Amino acid sequence: MEQRISLITLGVADVARAKAFYQQLGWQGQEVEETVFFQAGGLAVVLWGRDKLADDAGIEELGTCAMTLAQNVRSRAEVDEVIATAAAAGATVTKPARETFYGGYAGYFADPDGHLWEIAWNPGFTLAEDGSLTVPDFNALD
Amino acid sequence: MEQRISLITLGVADVARAKAFYQQLGWQGQEVEETVFFQAGGLAVVLWGRDKLADDAGIEELGTCAMTLAQNVRSRAEVDEVIATAAAAGATVTKPARETFYGGYAGYFADPDGHLWEIAWNPGFTLAEDGSLTVPDFNALD
């Protein structure tokens, strides 16, 4: 597993309220289907409804102050490899890798303290050679 | 507030166990005073005892799956500015900015969903022009 982060997702009770807060801090992002993406250096900070995030991660409920980490990789096979490596190291696979609604392939594991990692192959998000991630221009995709 | 992350700190029950897990994933880091730093692209992933992290953040207890985000800035004044901006936007300041044990200056706020942010000026951690952070070689500092 490479030593990098692609996305940090903050589970929020109210996406509009959370978006307004980060905008007041001066952050600029893009909202797509009640999900807000902020480019933050070589990764993305994402605001997403807590229930949707918990469901996506394959867990019943997020704890307080819930965030998840994600690493985007370069192929379906790499998703399987990283999740197998994590499981062998003692992680709990909360959601086995499967096809995603956006045409990718992803799964989740929890580390020994319950920190959730999504490992994803997402053909819509560009990964640079150095592993940095660029949020696409969603309007340009319409 | 700039749109970037400097550190992601995972609160863990047992630093040695958590370190062993990430090492089994192939990650290489440095341990300093029961704190493990992994360079991950332009930021650092940090493993730190849950109790110490909660205490540092000025809160009684971390929730499950607890992580905090940090943004390192370039001056004491910028710490104060960012925390004041966040407070004006509705954040709860959980720890007003103060001098730190490592010779820096830092404070914490919680966003409307309770996600904790540390804003820190740390003269020991290099910030590049683009905001990316490089973990120092701690051995070289001895």
Task: Residue B20: count other Cβ atoms within 10 Å of its Cβ.
Answer: 13
Which pLDDT band, with edges at 50, 70 and 90, does B141 fall under? Answer: low
Say if the Cβ atoms of A1 and B63 lie within 8 Å. Answer: no
Mind telling me how many Å the CA of B99 is from chain A's nearest CA? 24
User: B7-134: which CATH number, 3.10.180.10, 3.40.30.10, 3.40.50.300, 3.40.50.920?
Assistant: 3.10.180.10
The pLDDT of residue A19? 93
- Please write the tens of the pLDDT for every residue from B82-132: 999 999 998 999 999 999 988 999 999 888 878 888 999 999 888 888 888
The residue ranges of every structural domain in chain A are: 7-134
Given a cut of 80, whether residue B63 has pLDDT beyond it is no
Q: Does A91 touch chain B (CB under 8 A)?
A: yes
Taken as a whole, chain B contains a residue count of 142
Task: Give chain B's mean pLDDT.
Answer: 87
User: What pLDDT was estimated at residue A136?
Assistant: 85
Report the complex ipTM: 0.81
CA distances from residue A98 to A109, A124, B95 in whole angstroms, order as listed? 13, 17, 42
Q: Mean pLDDT over residues B17-41, rounded? A: 90
Q: For residue A81, what pLDDT is reported? A: 95
Q: pLDDT value at position B127? A: 87
User: Stretch B73-82: mean pLDDT, rounded?
Assistant: 95
The reported pLDDT for the residue numbered A121 is: 95
B-chain CB neighbours of A117 within 8 Å are none
- Which H or E run contains B105? strand B105-110
Q: Determine the pLDDT at residue B64.
A: 55
Q: In this complex, do B115 and A65 lie within 8 Å of one another by their Cβ atoms?
A: yes
Within A16-138, strands assigned E span: 30-32, 35-40, 43-49, 67-72, 92-99, 105-110, 116-121, 126-127, 133-134
- Residue B12 or A75, more confident: A75
Q: Does B52 touch chain A (CB under 8 A)?
A: no
For B141, list phi and psi in degrees, rounded to 5.
Answer: -85, -15
The conformation of residue B57, written as its DSSP 8-state character, comes to H
| Pairing assessment for the beta strands A43-49 and A35-40 based on DSSP bridges | antiparallel
Overall average pLDDT of the A34-51 stretch: 90
**DSSP single-letter state for residue B103:** S
